[in-house]
Structure 1
């Protein structure tokens, strides 16, 4: 089924500007907090385990609401759900300014993640709705670049704001841009875009998926405890139940047959999952390493973290443009290998590693992810039927968030093993460095899998038959 036509035309470039600004806001609000975590932990007297949940709780909300948001957007309007997400994300961020406990920070970070899920699930679908297939590479690349640009400024702005005004003000950073995005959409983007509006929403499937995500995190972060192992086993049961339910339903949250119909689609999603499993914990871990092990200030740590994201922001649009002309498999695979090399260097960091060595490693990681993300996104979206771009976009973002969640949950496990419930401070530099080294070795394993799967994904573009056509 084709998407309904809009009643009035709208310039796709206004949609692109609004989506890119939204893509900038979400990572800015989430990643800027990483640099402020040591200061936040000290002022709130938070333990290492609770601090590690600050980035994790966002992912739990993301993974719970990503698929429901994508399906809901196809039914009630992609622009509408995008705006709901911006409103929820920014409201939770503003309220976090007033909290006085790490527990309340975690609650509001959950709502931030819920809003971010609604934004991520609709951003690519909006671009696919307004740009023809042969012109989607550049917009998707620019969208990815804005995500990385948000990640670029987040460490520097977060560090500067933390040193100058305190960690609370970090939560206010996204608010001026939110006002700009909402004003632009109200002024220039009328109407909305839909998918299959007559479909009923699968609330049972959404609940099963939410329970799976929660059980997965609880199980992974408590190993090898007996009851945590039982919860982890239960999460696999829930995943099987969810997949079987989606395969039987006429109107599923995700049409699981898409994975069987296109190896390109399924392998690209698996590659994304492993790539992002390696990437998300890096900002959290490097912030702790630079401030606790190396003695950097929050602002100086932010400047170092700039290197990776700035490189991504520069490379992603170029890679997106090239994906319109060159086989995405080779572009994305080269990105996977380059990232692998960068993490190989990071795995050797110690208490006296030269700053230039750290910068080189982060440059390679940024170059690799910049080459990978846009071509891989392009392939996934081209592999989906036009009536399923909302769900395909949500599924791609879901692969990213599942990877992030698995990677961060395992890092939380390392934190639990090495640091326990001790309050974070400079005396824990040795176990922090051990945690960092273990996480880098895990990331190397993920990236090796990503590189191999990317090479095996097969032909792209017109050679690959779209599922459902």
Structure 2
């Protein structure tokens, strides 16, 4: 079963048609960078407000971990279908619609009467942000020529890190002065402003495959597969987690089999089977994010509970990692246009692994300088990895596959984030009870030890992503 969505021939603009002047490219880059800024600032502000949210609803740390994960699971489920839909009806239209959905979710969230309602708002926000994540870099990839694409991506990635930098600071200030609800109103306004800017800056709709059918059955299979796999991961070490993972694995086999049979799949399985560079670079991405995403979650709890910092003070400390990322990402993106990106990204993964291992020396005796140094080391490693890896993935596919490639890359990022939070939640359940400082540190040590191993494993996988293969 397929759901066919078509547009009038006069309203169709093929992906290769739009051409932009230098000034127009700059405006598009600013708009995309703003969209890239929006997503991490939302996540970062929520992370810094977690203790306040926990106090407001009287929920334990494991519930707060689920709150952080809900948006991720929701976005992973809708990322690939949103990208495919954008190929059919237009990148700009789907991106702007996603921003409006997120604005709606975030304006309702402050009025949540229970943690369950707030979880639903996060899930809806995840749907909207999936439409944004899956299409912003694709817009850059279409608008910019290959020789300038890496530099543009580097700047957009710097926008991500700017959001991560500003998020803890702005979120901490808003939470401290106006309460945790204020962060959602802030995100709502930012979503609407970004939607207007993208609508104005992208001068024409970008449609890769007008008139092609939308794979509704494949989208449903994909969503069910991700739901079971991700819910299984975040429920570890509960016995029900194994059942969920097994069911998810069965659906995954069915999904891959089905997608290989149809002419217009929602998920381009062939990119994995026919392109080793693409497959290995995406695997590296998932492992990297699986190793690093939980850092912000743990640091928010550690700085405010053990360090006894205010939300704003914690935000200042947590800026160390994204500031370094923001500074070096444009540089590494530009370098990846000139030299083998594998060298840069592999070095980044090794540095990240070293940084994660250094977190093992953090204890219940608060050492602010040591934490800032650790965060900076990890931030430098991530900066070395991000833009070169993205450029490698998008450069390994044909132009017509940019949308699918970007959505798959975004999906592997989000899946890695879920894996990271699943690891964190598992060790929180094992070690962290009654808000014990010793238990929190034990959960951190266990999580970051696994993260260090994952980073070094990702370096080995990333080095094999050679174009000649």
Smaller-chain TM-score bracket: over 0.9
- Distance in 2 between the 1:103 and 1:19 partners? 32
TM-score for both structures, normalised by structure 2? 0.93
- Which residue of 2 is the match for residue 452 of structure 1? 460
Corresponding position of 1:467: none
| Equivalent of 1:256 in 264, 269, 285 | 269
Q: Which segment drifts farther, 133-142 or 11-20?
A: 11-20
How many Å separate the matches in 2 of 1:89 and 1:428?
35
Which is further off, 44-53 or 282-291? 44-53
Between the aligned partners of 1:448 and 1:4, the Cα distance in structure 2 is: 38
Structure 1 residue 306 and structure 2 residue 319: aligned? Answer: yes
Q: Is the 8 A contact 2:88 2:207 kept in 1?
A: yes
Residues 48 and 185 of structure 1, relative CA distance in 2, 3 Å threshold:
closer
Counting only pairs closer than 5 Å after superposition, residues 201-212 of structure 1 correspond to structure 2 as 201-212=214-225
Deviation at residue 289 of structure 1 after TM alignment = 1.2
Match of 1:108 among 112, 121, 125: 121
Which residue, out of 61, 64, 69, partners 1:48?
61
Query: Residues 32-76 of structure 1, C-alpha deviation per residue, up to 9 Å, x if partnerless?
Result: 110111011112111222211111001111110010011011110
Task: Report the Cα distance in structure 2 between the residues aligned to 1:295 and 1:301, rounded to whole angstroms.
Answer: 9
Q: Does 1:239 align with 2:252?
A: yes
Contact 1:289 1:436 in 2 (8 A): no
CA distance in 2, matches of 1:302, 1:44: 22
Question: Structure 1 residue 5: deviation in Å?
Answer: 4.5
- The equivalent position to 2:140 in structure 1, one of 127, 130, 143, is 127
Structure 2: runs of 5+ lacking an equivalent? 1-12
Q: Secondary structure at the match of 1:41?
A: helix
Task: Name the structure 2 match of 1:280.
Answer: 293
Aligned with residue 58 of structure 1, among 66, 71, 83: 71
What RMSD over aligned residues (CA atoms) do the two structures have, in Å? 1.8
After TM superposition, the structure 1 stretch with the greater mean CA deviation from structure 2, 300-309 or 285-294, is 285-294
Question: Could you say which residue in structure 1 is the equivalent of 2:7?
Answer: none
Report the equivalent of 2:448: 440
1:429 aligns with 2:442: no
CA distance in 2: counterparts of 1:115 and 1:270, whole angstroms: 25
Report the equivalent of 1:366: 379
Partner of 1:397: 410
Between the aligned partners of 1:14 and 1:221, the Cα distance in structure 2 is 40
Segment drifting more, 176-185 vs 435-444: 176-185
Find the aligned partners of 2:318 and 2:122 in 1 and give their Cα distance.
Answer: 22
Structure 2 match to 1:182:
195
Counterpart position of 1:221: 234
SS at match of 1:191: coil
Would the aligned equivalents of 1:52 and 1:415 in 2 still touch at CA under 8 Å? no
Q: Deviations over 1:226-263 (max 9, x none)?
A: 33311211111111111111122211112212113222
- Inter-CA distance 24–237: structure 2 relative to 1 (3 Å threshold): same
- CA deviation profile, 1:385-442 (whole Å, cap 9, x unmatched): 111111100001011011111121222222233347x6xxxx4222222211111112
How far off is 1:6 after superposition?
4.0
Deviates further, 351-360 or 331-340: 351-360
Q: Distance in 2 between matches of 1:353 and 1:140?
A: 37
Q: Work out the CA distance in 1 between the residues paired with 2:439 and 2:18.
A: 60
**Does structure 1 residue 117 correspond to structure 2 residue 130?**
yes
Q: Secondary structure at the residue paired with 2:113? A: coil
- Whether the 8 Å contact between 1:6 and 1:191 is mirrored in structure 2 is no
Gaps of 5+ in 1: 465-469
Contact 2:103 2:189 in 1 (8 A): no
Aligned partners of 2:153 and 2:333 also within 8 Å: yes
Write the distance in 2 (CA, Å) between the matches of 1:224 and 1:181.
40
**Counterpart position of 1:294:** 307
* Compared CA separation, residues 338 and 204, structure 1 to 2 (3 A): same
TM-score by length of 1: 0.93
Query: Residues 236 and 422 of structure 2 are in contact (CA less than 8 Å); yes or no, is this contact kept in structure 1?
Result: no
Q: Distance in 2 between matches of 1:95 and 1:391?
A: 32
State the aligned residue count: 455
